[in-house]
Structure 1
Amino acid sequence: MNRDRYVDFLRAWAILLVVAGHWLITGLVRLPDGTIRAPELLVAVPWTQWLTLGFQIMPLFFLAGGYAAGGSWERARAAGGTAAGWVGQRAIRLLLPTAVYSGLVLAALGICLAVGVDPGTIALVGWAMAMQFWFLPVYLLLSALTPVLYALHRRGGLVVPVVGGVGALGVSWLVAATSGAGAGVVGAVNYLLVWGVVYQLGFCWRDRLVGRGPVVPAGMVAGGGVAFALLVGVGPFPVSLILVSGEELSNTTPPSAAMLAWAVAQVGLALLVAPLVRRVVGRAGVGRAVRGLGAVSMTLYLWHMLPVLVVAAAFYLTGLAPQPPYGSTGWWLLRVPWLVLLGLVLGLLVRALRPLERRLALTAARVRPGAGVRGPGAWRVWAGVVVSAWALAYFAGHGFAYEGRFPGAAAVGLAVGVALVADPGGCRQERGDEKSGGRAARVGAV
């Protein structure tokens, strides 16, 4: 039980740092004509790129995701569920809240475009509201590949992430050797290879292939840390673990060898401190806080940039916010009330969204595919996952209003993808199994 709580803690901690990191690097400036701009902090104040080493915490989310997915798929398979049924049930829990969020944002931006709001402002807002989306298509595809990845894990164990890591290094070398020009289709493979290595390590952690003692985790910390230092200090990769405009190479688009090294070190550290943190999260009060954060994690992740728009409208558009020179000591001191104010607004927003969360949970339970879905229903699930991943990847790369235009194709793609995954004939099958006491009904709780 303590280990499960620690996995929940890793996910909650990752979400909190992502939110705090996005807020920290978002700095607003009100121009003399009254418009608002958001200069890129990592470019304007280059030393802040080092801060990304602490805030790029998503390896922990993929680690925890692999740990949880491995157990979930194993239980579903033992109960007679199909790969399509399991993937569809997990996908719908991610896609429904994402589709609702995207639909509301797109509707608001569409209205603003129709009434003549400056396209540049619309593009900036559309980018801000989608900046967290890069994670969603990657996680969705890794979830869809879990049955295959877990089968490889059962055969190869630690060999699988090692081979995946070698492949990721090869792709990263190709991208670096072509001065970034190869970061197209070939480079995109590293989204699945690099993050897939961490996901596979989650399987290995669950099966106690790593983390049984301090030796292997300490080796991962040391090896990953040294490799990162060499790749950044001697090699061609930048230090920033977040995309920085103007750099030829990036550690995130696509994920690089340096990102892989840092992820390995971060996973090793998480395993190394696990015994200590388990004791802390095993306390009743801490456990309740972790469960509470877990319950609203998707809402926090999707909606955490909306408070920035609220505060911008209340304090920057009105000219009430003080504006010391960007990146100055006074500017950094104002980061404290900035973060506190955003936290308060987000807390109110999460509370206001509770009825929507409950309705989405009920809807997901009603429209999810059956645990044993096969045939045409299964093909609909797979097609829906692919189409949804494409739409989410578009939003991640272009925002919700690239160049001030409404993204009609991606919006339709997401709607079609969710519709394909939702109830592809499998819910009726599952309800029939429940009446007859079939095993597939029990898989629905996974």
Structure 2
Amino acid sequence: MTSATHPAARTPATRDRYVDLLRVASLGTVIAGHWLMAVPDGDRITNVLAVVPILQPLTWLLQVMPLFFLVGGFAHATAWASIQRRGGGYADFVRTRTARLLRPAAVFLAVWLVLALGAALAGQDHGIVRVALRTVVQPLWFLGVYVGLVALAPVMSRLHRAFGVRVPVVLFAAAAVVDVLRFHGYAGIATLNLLLVWAAVHQLGYLYADGTLQRYGLPLAVGGMTALLVLTTAGPYPTSMVGVPGEAVSNMSPPTLALAAHAVWLTGLAMLLRGPATRRLARARVWRTVVAANGLAMTAFLWHLSAAFLLLAVFRSGIGGAPGTTWWWLTRPVWLAAAGAVTAVLVSAFRRFDTPGPTEIAPGASTARAATGTALCTLGVLGVSAVGYGGLLAGKTATLLVVPVTAPAALALLALGAILLRRRRTGAALCSDAVGPGRLSAPTP
């Protein structure tokens, strides 16, 4: 029997299995997209979308990170309600939600920190090595944003109960104002959209959890797509929904109103596909596959670029020659299979660090301590994602919000935040909801 057989068989009838599928599908698509976009160019890595611009419209389907934040909103709505029913509070919620994310991320960062120190001491921190040290941690930006949304989730839940759909509407409108200011000479304000856009998408997950979103799949898909077409043709936004080298504006970093429109249309599409997908997920074999993939998804995401760089260490010019050529397309399955195989090896080595722990309700846990710890973890992860590990001993810096930060400083923030989030074991827990191999929890993106 597979490791997924028992939890799959014990799935409650009330569980929304489609949420689990969206989580797996979104992370899997992001992983495959990164593998396809990365193009070696001497001692650097460029993006195939810059080399073959005609591929950029594909990002309207393949940029699925909004689905991950949608699922996150759903998961937080259900988890917060569950913890409240058992007498828990804010500290119990944020500690439980962040632990599952930060444990495997901490191991990943520690391994690459050792590699970065070794490369620096050996005088090899240059060329493709420095590119790898910079690039492998870059996707952690989403983890930093996500941890920040964990900190805000109970507050956003109250806002949802009070104002419903008006909350994401106001957040999207605020993001539009930020873009107007951005394009009129106030470029620094654009960073606000890192919170506004992703918080709005996350808030759509609350509407999914209460059953509202499912009724509006077609209007969301049509309205979002119409807005996206207008913004990218008549407006100042590029076609690609991911950053492309050489473009004056990135829709992704920081997010723009165009990415918000993309998130709306993609959410509508997901709702339209929910019915047929749910019927297929009722089949035991299909559901076991999703459960098994869910247990590996975060570890695979953390290590998938490491796998790509290991392959590039062997095949310095990549596999398939010049991007966009017939031979390049024909060899994409070979490249994807090779990257998948190396990632599978890394997943088997590190998956034990990505296991859900018990959900414990502790009396008297400090809300201020938990909020401070989560904020520091957010800043730490965003900081190390921004600066990377290249030039570690040379004091390389990057701007975190408006403050220059080094990798050691970012890691220190993360470590301090993790210490603050640890549960003080001065008393017995009121409740322990073990989430082990025989029990499914709410999805934890």
Fold shared per TM-score above 0.5: yes
Are the aligned partners of 1:218 and 1:268 in contact in 2 as well (CA < 8 Å)? Answer: yes
Taking only the aligned residue pairs, the percentage that are identical comes to 34
Assess, with a 3 A threshold, how the Cα gap between structure 1 residues 93 and 324 changes in structure 2: closer, same or farther: closer
1:167 aligns with 2:141: no
SS at match of 1:237: coil
Q: Secondary structure at the match of 2:103?
A: helix
Say if 2:151 and 2:375, in contact at 8 Å, map to a contact too.
no
Instruction: Give the secondary-structure state (helix, strand or coil) at the position aligned to 1:27.
Output: strand
Letter in 1 for 2:194: Y
Alignment of 1:271-350 (within 5 A): 271-316=271-316, 324-350=321-347
1:390 aligns with 2:379: yes
Task: Map residues 8-47 of structure 1 onto 2, 5 A cutoff.
Answer: 8-29=20-41, 31=42, 36-47=43-54
Q: Which amino acid aligns with 2:32?
A: A
Q: How does 1:164-313 map to 2 (within 5 A)?
A: 164-178=171-185, 181-182=186-187, 184=188, 186-212=189-215, 216-313=216-313
Question: Is the alpha carbon distance of 1:231 and 1:354 closer, same or farther for their aligned partners in structure 2, counting shifts above 3 Å?
Answer: closer
Give 1:441's aligned residue: 431
- Partners of 2:296 and 2:44 lie apart in 1 by 30
Q: Measure the CA separation in 1 of the matches of 2:349 and 2:112.
A: 17
TM-score, normalising length: structure 2: 0.87
Measured in 2, the distance between the counterparts of 1:369 and 1:3 equals 22
> Structure 1 unaligned runs (5+)?
434-439
The equivalent residue for 2:152 is: 145
Deviation track 1:382-420 (CA, whole Å, cap 9, x = no partner) reads 222111111111222222225884622112222222222
Measure how far apart 1:246 and its partner are: 2.7
CA contact (8 A) 2:36 2:48 kept: no
Write the deviation string for residues 143-184 of structure 1: whole angstroms up to 9, x where unpaired.
110110000000111111111111111112221232xx52x2
CA distance in 2, matches of 1:322, 1:144: 43
Judged with a 3 Å threshold, the aligned counterparts in structure 2 of structure 1 residues 134 and 343 are, in CA distance, closer, same or farther, namely same
Q: In terms of mean alpha carbon deviation, does 146-155 or 159-168 score higher?
A: 159-168
Q: What residue number does 1:436 align with? A: none
Contact in 2 for aligned 1:371/1:443 (Cα 8 Å): no
- Residue identity matched to 2:388: G
- Offset of residue 121 of structure 1: 3.1
**SS of the counterpart of 1:249?**
coil
Contact residue 49 and residue 239 of structure 1 kept, 8 A: yes
Q: Distance in 2 between matches of 1:344 and 1:322?
A: 15
CA distance in 2 between partners of 1:322 and 1:78 (Å): 54
Point out the structure with the larger strand share. 2
**Aligned residue runs from structure 1 range 392-431, under 5 A:** 392-401=381-390, 405=394, 407-423=407-423, 425=424, 427-429=425-427
| CA distance in structure 2 between the aligned counterparts of 1:306 and 1:415, rounded to whole angstroms | 23
Query: Is 1:97 equivalent to 2:104 in the alignment?
Result: yes
CA RMSD of aligned residues (A): 2.2
Structure 2: distance between partners of 1:382 and 1:201:
23
- Distance in structure 1 (CA, Å) of the matches to 2:319 and 2:270: 40
What amino acid is aligned across from residue 68 of structure 1 in structure 2? A
Distance change in 2, residues 1:112/1:382 (3 Å): same
- TM-score, normalization by structure 1: 0.87
Maintained 8 Å contact 2:125/2:391 = no
Whole-angstrom distance in 2 between the partners of 1:65 and 1:405: 37
User: 2:164 is matched with which residue?
Assistant: 157
Counterpart amino acid of residue 386 in structure 1? A
More helix by share: 1
Task: Confirm or deny: 8 A CA contact 2:19 2:71 kept in the other structure.
Answer: yes
| Alpha carbons of structure 1 residues 95 and 403: separation in structure 2 relative to 1, 3 Å | closer
Residues 36-72 of structure 1 show CA distances to partners (whole Å, capped at 9, x for unaligned) of 4323322222222222222210111111111111011
Aligned partners of 1:120 and 1:403 also within 8 Å? no
After TM superposition, list the pairs within 5 Å mapping 1:125-144 onto structure 2: 125-144=132-151
Shift of 1:224: 0.5
Distance 1:371 1:56, change over 3 A: farther
Shift of 1:101: 0.6
- Amino acid corresponding to residue 90 of structure 1 in structure 2: R
In structure 2, the CA distance between the partners of 1:261 and 1:336, relative to structure 1 (3 Å rule), is: same
> How many residues are treated as equivalent by the alignment?
413
- Deviation, 1:245, is 2.4
